[in-house]
């Protein structure tokens, strides 16, 4: 029981974390988030299915193609749903990305089809037994990928010139321009990276569950909750919050039953934010008067 | 332009679009031209053969969209047949479809709009029990017959209203649950079955039904577990059922989560008989659930596969002719949706004909006067009577399973 | 004077009349239609009520909620459960409203602590919590099956069917729109906007932000709950799934699309969000795509919302102006003045003692100044006195009350008012409302009277403000913002007035006027406490001075004593008389400019700030750009560097036209702007900041180059590894210049380098600038302290209203008495 809760919680949790990292990156660089992030999860899975099953591409190629598609989606979202509003000083990007998500979800519904499909993968062919619980190999791969991605991101931000450029844009976009940094392109890159992470999450979950035109919606909301709980400005916080969220969800389901999962989880969110208004590892801005 | 004409124009647009499903450039051009013509025609005085409108409120988008498509196809085929024979009361039948997004309040809105604005003579419902439950009070209050071709919630037809306008050509949860329990006992010798149910009105309806059926069979329940429609991992719930000593599982849920239940069982390495409501029929269950899908036995009112009845063959051929998208048996998997809706539409037409009018109360009484209808599922003999609004009963249920993408009857 | 001619649609009575007409139209529509149309009208009207509720939160208090479907659901369930248990609908309706208002107030408690996306998430969680709570509500809520409503409301023995409910809803919509209109103009509504625009400033006017936000949440939730309470008899069925997350988004959408903060916005929004799906119903499964697309198009076309955008098309009223008052006018004298006594005040931030043992007595009717180098802790002391920081040692006494540790709003009500280093006006409120709101500190329910407005106008005149009264404060130029902020601080009749660098960024002439204003304020019996770097202002107006350094007081006394104190000279004033730093030999170089502009026009709105600006800077030259506040100096720097686009006319940098290029491209061509306010990257270390300076030029960074820079700025070497945000103002300025030099620029632009710096630091800074000049770096410098800039410049331009009105060598400009009086101020 405990093993299955741990595996299930860590697996889903690292997925939430991966998607939430996408929220984190765009927020850190531009102060905006893409509320169509859930649709990017769907797109990753759907493209992967279409390339691998529909067109018969070899899996690595299909994965690469799907990730590229999601990165492109990020660019498009930034260009038409975010930038026009940010440049006019409007907050309407928030609703624009929500509307974009609705459009994309429905467009996928009509192109991909209305019924869920299964994405075959060698990693879910047969379960292996770990500590008395049956686990698909993919369930081990998922948290590894999730944590590796967050560590890599952290390393990029802390240790490379590119990371410093991203941080500079986040802290003061005008000053960054004066350093010769192309802020627009940087923000666009952040959205592409964000889309790519969501797509990766979609590809990883798809074989475990199923591919459908609406699979991403709930993941998107939960991942946003995770991003906020972790402190949307902190990559480490976001990933930790993801794991924690997954474990709490699995734990509550296992002990109290699934009916109370949502009630408990959403109460915890409100309580946690009331106690830590800037998230788990978020840093409060100094209250300068 | 009045609201009415606007609605008419949209209707014509829809019926045209159904024929031009492939969006070629020429198709769009033609579509635009036709809808313009239709709009002009609607403005004109020609109202000689004012059609009799039948409303449909179902999920046309979202994860239940496939069921909506099946229902639409069943109705469409029946309407074609009826209109080819001159319609009812000398007027053609016309379908007006609305998307409820599987959301009850959207469904209520759509039902009101169809009744009050489009003036439908009868309403057909969809897959989701919560939506149908929401529409029933409206139909009763506005005195328009509401016929369910899918949603099985017991309370839909047994709604306690003095003046009941809700009919159904589909399974009934209370009866299905009795059949499930009987099947579990007879086939698997179950002594302590557990339940794994979706946490919505449909699950709740079956929880009541199963609990009552188990009590009637004096069997204990190992446990009642629920999951959310969006859940992707049911191992925790199933683990508790296993620890409680369940020797068979009753499964209620749509195809997606049903597949997750099977996969979770696989991961746990727990081989237990699964007897399911008809959720798995709603999609490619065997593809989603993998090889273990075949172990799940589920209830149906109808299958095309292995059905040698001439009527079934004829309808299948007609379907393939009308909807070129149907290529294999896998494309008619929610056969119950097609068959129930097909029979329901014919029954509605018969009721209107018997009533000699499209007024709600008269049509309702018309249902009671239907004598014989040789339908797709069976030959109906006086299918409805006051106090008996369900045309199908336990004798019409068959247990099926998936085999190579097709739903086939379980041969015992 | 206060009643200018208005456009009829902007007349005060126009809005109530419009609401009345719209309500009548709605009722007329009900009378003329039937059946389904009634139902749709009722839905639109209820969405208006709910949207107006959200508008209170979003449009007035500036708080987002993605959980209003939760309140809608609570209202609906409360009304349904109460009526099903036999209570009359007419009692259930207000009960449902009260219940949701209470829940709203409760949600405000945790919601108060979070902002922006965090608040969005908390409200999303609330919405889901309500939905799932209703699912698990058992027999009470009917679980997933929901509740079927059998009996509708009865009025005068008649059961209200759809027609009656439609009439009820339309009336409710009209009432809620009117209520919103009244609320927006009432003190409570203005206080909400004030808290939104600047929470700190609202608190220092005595408004308790917690109470104001709680009120906003409660009103908002209550209205939305009332709307929900009408749903059950209308829908005849409610279930948890009737109130999904998407409903919350639709509410936000209807407010934003209509125009947040406008009275009629929710009406417009409801028409779009309810009627559009109705019209698209025939599209069946394609309608969500169309709905999404339509939403996007509306957002693209009218980002300020439909009503907001239309309102901008109405002609503006002629500006009302404050009555002219001579510089000699006085405040009514107050005799109950009390001294503010500070004893042993101290506070630490993360182990650093930001203030320690600060004692000060500010007598009524006197000006007491607090001076010291940057980072000395002066503003920290002000923040403790005004209640933003809680001191960990010492006392703050006004009369007999000890105020140490009291909240900002309590301190404001005790009679201590303040202004801020960067002004904190309520940008969306008019100038007059900014001041009128402060008349009764903290009072939310007081009726605003014509007397308040008159008093406010008089105070504005007293402060020397002569601009328009009806303008939103956000549109004011810098000087006026300072004056309005002082008038606002005076409006509550304070005993103590705290001013934080009121002269920062002002010209000599404007600073002198501030000085006279401060004297007149203190003469009325107010204790004035001034934090300021401008020595002529401090020395000319103060009765008593306290000098601080590194958090500790180092000297105290009358201006003359302090000026001679050796400790003060060492720490702060160190050669306050900036020496001239002419070149050893006059500049000579090629005549082809590095940077030139020709007929340059640029601005932020309709009126250009720069008008046909022509200037040129030649290689190796140092050129000063001078002028009064608002002459366009900083705008010129932003336009030249590419931060402000688009511009008309030409800018040529090293023979390349760059007027079309964005800032980063210009930076790569070798123009380095050291921007106003330094703008270092606060979370990066000093070294990382410097390295980023080389980003635009590309190529490898030679460690020796960084070493050389650290040699030139030894204070940066000491702090090389610390985060730039922790540096003092002077150190940040050095860092910004070092960062600019890393680009090895063809030309270095310095925008207001001395702003906010202590005299000794300014002196050091200008030494650095002179040194750079002598090393052959081309410099264009803007400084409010014109005399300072001319100490290093070879040549200068004087701007007035965006044009060059004079140019000449530094010596010529310094010698021109006329220019000095008009633009540079007598130093």
Q: At what angle do helices A2-30 and A161-171 cross, to 10 degrees?
A: 70
For residue C506, is pLDDT > 90? no
Give the model confidence (pLDDT) of B273-283 as tens digits.
999 998 888 77
Q: Does the residue A289 lie in any domain?
A: no
Task: Indicate yes or no: CB of A81 within 8 angstroms of CB of C132.
Answer: no
Distance CA C371, CA A51 (A): 70
Give the model confidence (pLDDT) of C646-700 as tens digits.
889 999 999 999 999 999 999 999 999 999 888 999 988 999 999 999 988 887 8
| Nearest-neighbour CA in chain A from B60: distance (Å) | 9
Of residues C235 and A194, more confidence is placed in: A194
Distance CA C95, CA C462 (A): 50
The residues with which B366 forms a beta bridge, in sequence order, are: none
Which residue has tokens 């004077």? C1
Yes or no: say if C360 and C368 are a contact pair by the CB < 8 Å rule.
Answer: yes
Distance CA A33, CA A95 (A): 11
The residues with which B58 forms a beta bridge, in sequence order, are: B99
**Owning domain of residue A110:** 2-216
For residue C187, is pLDDT > 60? yes
| Domain boundary residue, one of B300, B325, B348 | B300
Which residue has tokens 């029981």? A1
HSE at residue C419, side-chain half, CA atoms within 13 A, is: 29
SS3 letters across B335-400: HHHHHHHHHHHHHHHHHHHHHCCCCHHHHHHHHHHCCEEECCCCEEECCCECCECECCCHHHCEEE
Query: Which residues of chain B lie closer than 8 angstroms to A135, CB-CB?
Result: 267
Q: Is the domain of B331 the same as that of B376?
A: yes
Q: Which of B217-221, C162-166, C223-227 has the highest mean pLDDT?
A: C223-227
Task: Indicate yes or no: CB of B201 within 8 angstroms of CB of C282.
Answer: no
pLDDT value of position C323: 67
Find, among C426, C177, C191, C434, the residue nearest to C307 by Cα. C177
For residue C543, is pLDDT > 50? yes
Q: Which residue in chain A is spatially nearest to C304 when comparing CA positions?
A: A90
Distance CA C249, CA C69 (A): 8
Q: Is the domain of B204 the same as that of B112?
A: no
Give the model confidence (pLDDT) of C36-70 as tens digits.
888 889 999 999 999 999 999 999 999 999 999 99
Q: Does the residue B77 lie in any domain?
A: yes
Burial class (CB in 10 A: 0-12, 13-18, 19+), B33: exposed
User: Which of B61, B225, B284 has the CB atom closest to A109's CB atom?
Assistant: B61
Residue of C84, C141, C145 for testing the chain B interface, max B β-carbons within 10 Å = C145
Query: Which residues of chain C lie closer than 8 angstroms to A182, CB-CB?
Result: 662, 664-665
Q: Please, what's the b/e burial string for B12-27 (b: 16 or more CB within 10 A of its CB; e: otherwise)? A: bbbbbbeeeeeeeeee
Q: Does the residue B306 lie in any domain?
A: no
- Domains of chain C are 8-313 (no CATH), 340-426+479-573 (3.40.50.300), 595-680+743-824 (3.40.50.300)
| Nearest-neighbour CA in chain C from A251: distance (Å) | 18
Distance CA C115, CA C65 (A): 11
Q: Is the domain of B187 the same as that of B292?
A: yes
> How many beta carbons lie within 10 A of that of residue B391, not counting itself?
27
Yes or no: say if A135 and A7 are a contact pair by the CB < 8 Å rule.
Answer: yes
Find, among B112, B130, B71, the residue nearest to C244 by Cα. B130
Find, among C637, C641, C670, C643, the residue nearest to C655 by Cα. C670
Domain count, chain B: 2
| Nearest-neighbour CA in chain C from A112: distance (Å) | 15
Q: Is the domain of B246 the same as that of B345?
A: no
Q: Does the residue A70 lie in any domain?
A: yes
| Nearest-neighbour CA in chain C from B382: distance (Å) | 31
Yes or no: say if C634 and C484 are a contact pair by the CB < 8 Å rule.
Answer: no
Question: How high does pLDDT run on average in chain C?
Answer: 87
Which residues lie closer than 8 Å to A223 by C-beta, 6 or more apart?
Answer: A16, A17, A19, A20, A22, A23, A37, A38, A242
The residues with which C396 forms a beta bridge, in sequence order, are: C342
Distance CA C796, CA C781 (A): 9
Give the model confidence (pLDDT) of C98-154 as tens digits.
999 999 999 999 998 888 888 989 999 999 999 999 988 888 888 877 888 877 788
Find, among C792, C787, C776, the residue nearest to C821 by Cα. C787
Residues written for chain B: 412
Q: Is the domain of B141 the same as that of B70?
A: yes
Q: Which helix (H) or strand (E) holds C348?
A: strand C340-349
Residue C702 zone, left/alpha/beta (φ > 0; ψ -120 to 50; rest): beta
pLDDT value of position B194: 95
Q: What are phi and psi of C411, to 5 degrees?
A: -65, -40
**Global ipTM:** 0.90
User: What residues 119-138 of chain C have any CB closer than 8 A to a CB of chain A?
Assistant: 120-122, 124-126, 128-129, 132-133, 135-136
Q: By the CB < 8 Å criterion, does A122 face chain C?
A: no
Q: Does the residue A227 lie in any domain?
A: no
Which residues lie closer than 8 Å to C474 by C-beta, 6 or more apart?
Answer: C425, C427, C428
Q: Which helix (H) or strand (E) holds B26?
A: helix B25-43
Q: Is the domain of B75 the same as that of B8?
A: yes
Of residues A135 and C461, more confidence is placed in: C461
**Owning domain of residue B351:** 3-21+49-171+312-393
Q: Does the residue A124 lie in any domain?
A: yes
| Helices and strands (DSSP H and E) totals, chain C | 33, 24
> How many beta carbons lie within 10 A of that of residue A163, not counting itself?
16
| Domain boundary residue, one of B239, B272, B300 | B300
**Chain A: which residues have CB within 8 Å of chain B?**
1, 4-5, 8, 11-12, 106, 109, 114-118, 127, 129, 133-136, 205, 208-210, 212-214, 218, 250, 253-254, 257-259, 261-262
Yes or no: say if C384 and C536 are a contact pair by the CB < 8 Å rule.
Answer: no
B76 band by pLDDT with thresholds 50, 70 and 90: very high
Q: Does the residue A12 lie in any domain?
A: yes
pLDDT value of position C519: 93
pLDDT value of position B406: 80
Give the model confidence (pLDDT) of C297-335 as tens digits.
888 888 777 887 787 777 665 667 766 655 556 777 877
Q: By the CB < 8 Å criterion, does A160 face chain C?
A: no
Question: How high does pLDDT run on average in chain B?
Answer: 84
Q: Which helix (H) or strand (E) holds C615?
A: strand C608-617
Distance CA A5, CA B237 (A): 11
| Nearest-neighbour CA in chain C from B294: distance (Å) | 31
Helix ranges, C553-702 (H) = 559-564, 566-568, 633-641, 663-668, 686-693
Distance CA C264, CA C27 (A): 17
Predicted model pTM: 0.85
Find, among A261, A156, C625, C161, the residue nearest to B236 by Cα. A261
Is the Cα torsion angle B311, B317, B319, B325 positive or negative in sign? positive
Domain count, chain A: 1
Burial class (CB in 10 A: 0-12, 13-18, 19+), B296: buried
Q: Is the domain of B160 the same as that of B181?
A: no
Of residues C159 and C11, more confidence is placed in: C159
Whole-number Cα distances in Å, C592 to C657, C804, C808: 14, 20, 18
Q: Is the domain of B11 the same as that of B156?
A: yes
Q: At what angle do helices A2-30 and A137-159 cross, to 10 degrees?
A: 30
Yes or no: say if A100 and A77 are a contact pair by the CB < 8 Å rule.
Answer: yes
Q: Does the residue B65 lie in any domain?
A: yes
Taking residues B195-219, what's their average pLDDT? 91
Distance CA A245, CA A230 (A): 10
Query: Rounded to a whole number, what is the distance in angstroms from the first to the last CA of chain B?
Result: 62
Q: Does the residue B211 lie in any domain?
A: yes
Q: Does the residue A243 lie in any domain?
A: no
**And the tokens for C470?**
């009806």
Distance CA B43, CA A125 (A): 61
Q: Which residue in chain B is spatially nearest to C142 when comparing CA positions?
A: B201
Q: Is the domain of B158 the same as that of B56?
A: yes
Question: Which CATH number covers residue B334?
Answer: 3.40.50.2300
Q: Does the residue A166 lie in any domain?
A: yes
Which residues lie closer than 8 Å to A260 by C-beta, 6 or more apart?
Answer: A252, C136
Q: Helix or strand or coil: residue C171?
A: helix
Task: Indicate yes or no: CB of A270 within 8 angstroms of CB of C110.
Answer: yes
Q: Does the residue A14 lie in any domain?
A: yes
Low-confidence ranges of chain A (pLDDT < 70): 1, 283-289
Q: Is the domain of B341 the same as that of B388?
A: yes
Distance CA B296, CA B304 (A): 19
User: Which of B68, B108, B200 has the CB atom closest to C237's CB atom?
Assistant: B108
By DSSP bridging, strand C608-617 and strand C367-371 are: unpaired
Q: Which helix (H) or strand (E) holds C447?
A: none
Which residues lie closer than 8 Å to C722 by C-beta, 6 or more apart?
Answer: C685, C686
HSE at residue C772, side-chain half, CA atoms within 13 A, is: 31
Q: Is the domain of B349 the same as that of B255?
A: no
Task: Indicate yes or no: CB of C281 within 8 angstroms of CB of B113.
Answer: yes
**And the tokens for C347?**
């506070």
**And the tokens for B230?**
């969006």
**And the tokens for C252?**
């936000």
Distance CA A183, CA B8 (A): 51
**And the tokens for C59?**
């449009």
Q: By the CB < 8 Å criterion, does A262 face chain C?
A: yes
Q: Which helix (H) or strand (E) holds C413?
A: helix C408-413
Task: Indicate yes or no: CB of A95 within 8 angstroms of CB of C249.
Answer: yes
C825 band by pLDDT with thresholds 50, 70 and 90: very low
> How many beta carbons lie within 10 A of that of residue C76, not counting itself?
28
Distance CA C317, CA C14 (A): 14
pLDDT value of position C577: 61
| Nearest-neighbour CA in chain C from A277: distance (Å) | 5
The residues with which C530 forms a beta bridge, in sequence order, are: C369, C499
Would you list the DSSP string of C271-307?
IIIIIHHHHTGGGGGGHHHHHHHHHHHHHHH-TT-HH
Q: Is the domain of B118 the same as that of B210?
A: no
């Amino acid at each position: 029981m405990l093993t299955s809760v741990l595996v299930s919680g860590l697996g889903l949790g690292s997925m939430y974390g991966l998607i939430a990292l996408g929220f984190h990156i765009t927020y850190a660089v531009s102060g905006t988030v893409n509320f169509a992030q859930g649709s990017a999860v769907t797109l990753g899975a759907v493209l992967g299915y279409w390339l691998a099953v529909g067109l018969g591409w070899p899996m690595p190629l299909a994965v690469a193609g799907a990730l590229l598609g999601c990165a492109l989606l990020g660019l498009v979202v930034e260009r038409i749903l975010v930038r026009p509003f940010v440049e006019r000083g409007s907050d309407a990007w928030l609703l624009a990305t929500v509307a974009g998500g609705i459009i994309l979800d429905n467009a996928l519904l009509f192109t991909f089809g209305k019924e869920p499909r299964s994405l075959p993968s060698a990693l879910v062919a047969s379960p292996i037994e770990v500590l008395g619980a049956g686990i698909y190999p993919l369930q081990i791969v998922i948290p590894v990928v999730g944590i590796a991605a967050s560590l890599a991101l952290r390393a990029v931000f802390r240790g490379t010139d590119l990371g410093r450029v991203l941080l500079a844009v986040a802290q003061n976009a005008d000053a960054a321009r004066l350093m010769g940094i192309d802020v627009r392109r940087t923000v666009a890159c952040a959205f592409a990276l964000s889309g790519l992470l969501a797509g990766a999450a979609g590809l990883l979950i798809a074989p475990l569950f199923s591919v459908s035109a609406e699979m991403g919606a709930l993941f998107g909301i939960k991942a946003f909750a995770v991003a906020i709980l972790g402190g949307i400005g902190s990559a480490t916080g976001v990933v930790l919050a993801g794991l924690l969220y997954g474990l709490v969800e699995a734990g509550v389901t296992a002990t109290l039953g699934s009916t109370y999962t949502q009630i408990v989880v959403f109460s915890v969110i409100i309580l946690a934010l009331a106690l830590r208004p800037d998230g788990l590892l978020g840093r409060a801005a100094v209250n300068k008067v | 332009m009045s609201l009415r004409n606007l609605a008419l124009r949209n209707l014509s647009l829809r019926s045209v679009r159904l024929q031009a499903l492939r969006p070629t450039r020429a198709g769009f051009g033609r579509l635009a031209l036709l809808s313009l013509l239709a709009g002009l025609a609607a403005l004109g005085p020609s109202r000689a053969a004012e059609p009799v409108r039948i409303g449909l409120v179902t999920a046309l988008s979202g994860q239940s969209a496939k069921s909506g498509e099946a229902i639409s196809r069943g109705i469409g085929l029946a309407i074609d047949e009826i209109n080819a024979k001159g319609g009812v009361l000398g007027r053609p039948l016309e379908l007006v479809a609305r998307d409820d997004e599987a959301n009850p309040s959207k469904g209520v809105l759509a039902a009101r709009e169809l009744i009050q604005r489009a003036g439908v003579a009868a309403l057909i419902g969809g897959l989701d029990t919560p939506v149908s439950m929401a529409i029933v009070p409206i139909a009763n209050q506005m005195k328009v017959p509401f016929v369910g071709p899918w949603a099985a919630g017991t309370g839909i037809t047994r709604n306690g209203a003095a003046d009941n306008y809700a009919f159904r050509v589909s399974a009934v949860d209370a009866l299905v649950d009795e059949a499930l329990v009987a099947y579990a006992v007879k086939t698997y010798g179950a002594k302590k079955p557990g339940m794994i149910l979706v946490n919505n009105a449909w699950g709740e309806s079956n929880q009541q039904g199963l609990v009552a059926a188990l009590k009637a069979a004096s069997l204990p329940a190992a446990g009642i577990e629920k999951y959310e429609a969006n859940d992707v991992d049911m191992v925790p719930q199933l683990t508790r059922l296993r620890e409680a000593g369940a020797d068979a599982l009753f499964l209620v849920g749509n195809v997606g989560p049903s597949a997750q239940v099977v996969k979770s069982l696989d991961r746990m390495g727990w081989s237990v008989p699964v007897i399911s409501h008809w959720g798995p029929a709603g999609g490619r269950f065997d593809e989603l659930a993998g090889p273990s899908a075949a172990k799940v036995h589920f209830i149906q009112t109808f299958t095309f596969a292995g059905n040698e009845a001439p009527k079934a063959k004829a309808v299948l051929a007609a379907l393939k002719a009308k909807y070129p998208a149907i290529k294999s048996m896998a494309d008619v998997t929610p056969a119950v949706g097609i068959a129930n809706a097909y029979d329901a539409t014919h029954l509605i037409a018969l009721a209107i004909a018997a009533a000699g009018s499209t007024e709600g109360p008269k049509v309702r009484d018309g249902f009671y006067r239907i004598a014989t209808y040789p339908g797709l599922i069976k030959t109906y003999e006086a299918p409805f009577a006051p106090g008996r609004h369900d045309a199908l009963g336990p004798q019409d249920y068959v247990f099926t399973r998936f085999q190579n993408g097709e739903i086939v009857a379980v041969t015992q | 004077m206060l009643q200018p001619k208005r456009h009829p649609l902007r007349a005060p009575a126009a809005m109530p009349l419009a609401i009345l007409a719209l309500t009548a139209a709605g009722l007329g529509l009900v009378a003329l239609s039937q059946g389904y149309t009634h139902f749709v009208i009722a839905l639109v009207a209820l969405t208006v009520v709910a949207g107006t509720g959200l508008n209170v939160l979003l449009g007035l208090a500036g708080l987002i909620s993605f959980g209003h479907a939760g309140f809608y659901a609570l209202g609906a369930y409360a009304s349904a459960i109460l009526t099903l248990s036999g209570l009359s609908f007419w009692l259930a309706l207000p009960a449902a409203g009260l219940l949701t208002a209470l829940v709203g107030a409760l949600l405000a408690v945790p919601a108060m602590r979070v902002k922006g996306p965090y608040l969005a998430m908390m409200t999303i969680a609330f919405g889901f919590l309500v939905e799932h709570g209703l699912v698990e509500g058992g027999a009470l809520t009917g679980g997933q099956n929901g509740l079927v409503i059998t009996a509708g409301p009865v009025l005068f023995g008649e059961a209200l069917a759809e027609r009656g409910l439609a009439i009820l809803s339309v009336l409710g919509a009209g009432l809620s729109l009117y209520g919103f209109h009244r609320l927006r103009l009432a003190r409570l509504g203005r206080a909400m906007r004030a808290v939104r625009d600047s929470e700190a400033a609202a608190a220092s006017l005595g408004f308790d932000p917690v109470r104001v936000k709680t009120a906003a949440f409660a009103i908002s939730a209550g209205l939305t709950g009332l709307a929900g309470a009408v749903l059950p008899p209308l829908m005849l069925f409610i279930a948890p799934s009737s109130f999904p997350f998407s409903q919350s988004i639709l509410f936000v959408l209807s407010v934003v699309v209509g125009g947040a903060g406008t009275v009629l916005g929710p009406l417009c929004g409801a028409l779009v969000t309810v009627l559009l799906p109705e019209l698209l119903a025939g599209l069946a499964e394609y309608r969500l795509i169309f709905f999404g697309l339509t939403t996007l198009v509306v957002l693209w076309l009218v980002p300020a919302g439909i009503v907001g955008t239309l309102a901008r098309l109405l002609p503006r009223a002629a500006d009302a102006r404050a009555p002219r008052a001579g510089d000699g006018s006085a405040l009514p004298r107050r005799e109950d003045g009390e001294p503010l006594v500070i004893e042993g005040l101290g506070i630490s931030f993360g182990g650093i003692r930001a203030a320690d043992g600060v004692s000060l007595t500010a007598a009524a009717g006197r000006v007491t100044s607090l001076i010291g180098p940057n980072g000395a802790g002066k503003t920290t002391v002000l923040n403790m006195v005004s209640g933003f920081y809680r001191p960990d040692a010492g006392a703050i006494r006004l009369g007999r009350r000890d105020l140490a540790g009291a909240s900002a709003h309590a301190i404001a009500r005790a009679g201590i008012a303040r202004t801020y280093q960067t002004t904190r006006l309520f940008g969306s409120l008019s100038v007059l409302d900014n001041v009128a709101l402060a008349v009764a500190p903290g009072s939310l329910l007081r009726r605003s009277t014509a007397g308040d407005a008159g008093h406010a106008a008089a105070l504005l005149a007293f402060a020397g403000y002569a601009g328009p009264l009806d303008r939103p404060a956000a549109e004011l130029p810098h000087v006026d913002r300072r004056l309005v902020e002082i008038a606002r601080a005076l409006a509550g009749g304070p005993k103590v007035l705290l001013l934080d660098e009121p002269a920062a960024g002002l010209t000599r002439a404007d600073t002198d006027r501030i000085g006279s204003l401060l004297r007149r304020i203190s003469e009325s019996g107010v204790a004035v406490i001034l934090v300021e770097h401008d020595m002529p202002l401090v020395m000319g107006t103060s009765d008593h001075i306290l000098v601080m350094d590194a958090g500790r007081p180092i000297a105290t006394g009358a201006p003359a004593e302090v000026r001679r104190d050796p400790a003060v000279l060492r720490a702060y004033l160190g050669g306050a008389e900036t020496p001239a730093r002419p070149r050893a030999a006059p500049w000579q170089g090629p005549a082809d400019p590095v940077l030139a502009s020709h007929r340059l026009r640029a601005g932020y709105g309709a009126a250009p700030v720069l008008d046909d600006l022509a200037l040129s800077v030649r290689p190796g030259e140092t050129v000063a750009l001078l002028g009064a506040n608002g002459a366009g100096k900083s705008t010129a720097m932003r336009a030249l560097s590419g931060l402000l686009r688009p511009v008309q006319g030409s800018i040529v940098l090293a023979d390349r036209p760059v007027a079309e290029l964005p800032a980063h491209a210009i930076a790569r061509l070798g123009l380095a702007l050291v921007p106003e306010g330094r703008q270092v990257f606060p979370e990066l270390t000093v070294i990382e900041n410097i390295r980023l300076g080389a980003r635009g030029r590309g190529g490898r960074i030679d460690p020796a180059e960084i070493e050389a820079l650290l040699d030139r700025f030894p204070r940066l070497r000491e702090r090389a590894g610390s985060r730039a945000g922790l540096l003092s103002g002077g150190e940040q300025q050095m860092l910004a210049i070092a960062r600019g030099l890393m680009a090895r620029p063809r030309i270095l632009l310095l925008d207001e380098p001395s702003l906010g710096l202590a005299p000794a630091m300014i002196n050091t800074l200008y030494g650095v600038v002179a040194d750079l000049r002598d090393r052959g770096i081309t410099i264009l410098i803007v400084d409010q302290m014109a005399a300072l800039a001319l100490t290093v410049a070879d040549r200068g331009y004087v701007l007035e209203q965006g044009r060059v009105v004079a140019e000449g060598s530094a010596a010529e400009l310094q010698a021109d008495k006329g220019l000095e009086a008009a633009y540079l101020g007598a130093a």
